[in-house]
Structure 1
């Protein structure tokens, strides 16, 4: 395999390198000043290798020479040697990139490639090379340069004929913000214009040949998947005598075994069916090629073939239990792919995360509001089972800030920090750490800890977006607050919130917590309160109500009395005592969180669990409908989608305060 080198003389084209690949973003479009955005293209990935005299070689992502197939793209650039990464595309009459037309053009090329008209130009289906990265300019390799630097050099390359070669537009998060846009609104525009999606690219990232490090994240609007063609079924009725459907496979990401992924029977033209039938008939084998036999009922009448051809399908669903693509539609063959590259979707989460082989630059300067911050180690994985990085933590807190900040305002925040992710050591931090920015607001209050009585603590106040981003950059995954705010005189105020922490013991789950929450809600409403509920983000639930009290100890006394009442009335389900021996099969109604010295996790805060789950406000209809633990389990992405749909379900706490009944 030819690797990039600077040798070979002045007329030599640069050597080929395997291109860097994009990861799926898991449905979470990244947002923040560290990201730039490009349109997701739907064509053939190619490297344009240009010598100083204009000699050009086009090479696919897996090393196939495309030069003869796309002669109009040869010799368009000259003057300086360059290695350019991009995509070869075809446009339809509506001005949209059309992969179907590219497939049709490729079929014609294959048909004529061995004949006297091999150099046919296909003027009726013109192609265009859309460049999005520059890997070498002259004798200077650029792989270690940042994305921003490489794009700036690419933009300055002379491109005499933009109908043949041009640069893919890119826009940064800050440029979007200046136009009063967000990545989400940009995505809406792309949807309306019929594009495939967006690629979010980390602006500080280097270029890692042949790797998929997570610096580029693709957010498709249409779900597509590359598949290995492993067999076919003859057609019936109107498709008699031709191909009826294909049987599909992919390689298990962990073992490399070829596994069955289902079938596809729609999306073919009549010519597709006939050409595939003829081609596959010459590739037949007696047995299936999978490591394990597919279900017999799925493959009745199948004719098996050597697993050499790669295709692409649209699909609506992947069922993880069965490992099947559902509601598939054929898009065409991918001659630019090798079957060994085709991976099956994971039926379960990986035990060991994929980590980038080389880090991005460790510090990135950004502007958040009117503050400048230095963000560090953005690619560090915070949640190994999910691959969720610090950049994604910062992105989540930046996007959830409008609904989170009102619940932090005026309350001293305790951080639980995970410097090396949730698999490493964690520690609590109440004091403002050394090196905090001078503009960070804080409150000096007497210590309530057993070791620090008589001393004072400078508590951070997280009441705006720059402060929240600063905290997230410290790997403060969890944010905890008390049930009181700091008064105008800078001292601790009276409790303004009542809280019940419902903690499931062994043998119980959040489902039992939901049943207890329903009963507790009825008792609180009967006392004139307006309770709201949220998940803890871990195993249990919490109920809150806005209250007015004259004495700080009143909330604890009220909560204890109610918890003990529930324990007396339903002793088989509820306990009000923390004794471990009493916990199995029961839900602890923990009233002690009302002690002014204690804190609870803030709504919308992430939790330091295996996956990036968050403490999520829920409606009472959701509580009543909870029948499985999964019903009330929400990850960061789920929470962002919920808030966009329902707003802040904890907002009623701001205007429903009621006097707490006296005993």
Structure 2
């Protein structure tokens, strides 16, 4: 087992977010800091920031990287988090989970205790890989190695996104504008990391600088605690309250113990001693452990605190700092933060009829792309393109990539039919091929009619990914009926280089008796498909790998068949692995979660030969369909035996 490494810590940036090409920006996450140590045999230990082993508390994360590490030891640094129903990291829910764990540590199995509070490990650094220690490597090198490790189960482990200064500049954004976006999303803040910095265990250095977002809140002083450890005989902290607007009840909001001057502590103590009462003033008794040594007062004084987060689960202000009394406010004006919705406007909901189904659509005016392309436009696109899209989804279990807060917000994969899916939605239960063996049963949605497609679009499921096989009438996994090559341009190449490789592959496929069809990926690359007959699930991957390696041998300076990132610079990767029955590929006519609403667009071979523009948006694709029809319409009819 690799040795534990005391975590490097971030230093406050003093309110000035650093800017310049030497900086990279990561979202600041609020969970439990944890090192994940993995031995070559897959044994996994999770260690807290202060060296405590809490592997047993998070058993769901044990072994999640076994397949990805392939027998290599590793030490990763990250944060264990719980997400709320709004898709945000919620420390309050993590506290709920921890309380339940401590109460029932010797009771039910972890999976039974915490099905409603699943955890996810968000990785942001790699400290060891195999026998190679990485502490002295620059941040950008450690990051590059980390991103080469495939994350096999995005529900359990993923890499914290990092944005370079150059990427921001290319998007015509500044670090300050990124911070504004983070604030609008309800995130905790940003950490700026120096690209050349080593990992310094147990130290706070100027190479990692945190910029936490704070908020202010008026509060009612409901009690106080005497000071300790240097604050004897004075005020140590205040116990805070506010009114629940739904009931008018006075509710407990937490405490504050920092931000006071010595004079303020003495003055407040003198005032509060005149207001003391024997019992707490709240409608509901606060948790005993939260109010130990409390001295209660009449709720008459109003103050203001600065805070970093409000945990909606327990209704607490977190990371508070005192700002001062507010003599211009009366207690009846103080409303708890929970009364202030994230969006002051009620969500727009409309009921529509789609085919023979009645459906409720919400937030139709919400922009999902920086260009202003809204959810209503997403639904409109999928509705209009449905006649040519649905045949390529029919019978195939669909994996969504959802963007509930738009493409600038957090994205997540979804295989299981979403909670609250309509009862008429067709689904198929299949055993997944997870990293820990056979995998769990996943209830995949089948998007085979217009109501199902509109339902998915209303979930902001912008991207629709499918395997190269369909389910059989009895609901089992069928044999592959399509062959796919994913052409991915490495640094220094473009989609035009992909087109040149596509033409070479086309000629080989035709010579082998197959009929190839080409499409853009909707991102940077292209895909080639061919309809096939085969009686072996493994045969398409083997055949595709043979062709990819052949082209790589013929032109090693232009093509690679290996995923290794260092080999891809200046070359086109022919990714043959998407023929693996466990893999999925973006379906033709699907939107992509990019800066603009681009689409995976079927192409004519003439367009590819002429070097025409090969990037298309939703509106352009609809015009193409009106003119050209479905260029993939004959994919199934042209099936031929796999060589």
Structure whose alpha-carbon radius of gyration is higher: 1
- TM interval, shorter chain, is 0.3 to 0.5
Q: Could you state the TM-score of these two structures normalised by the residue count of structure 1?
A: 0.45
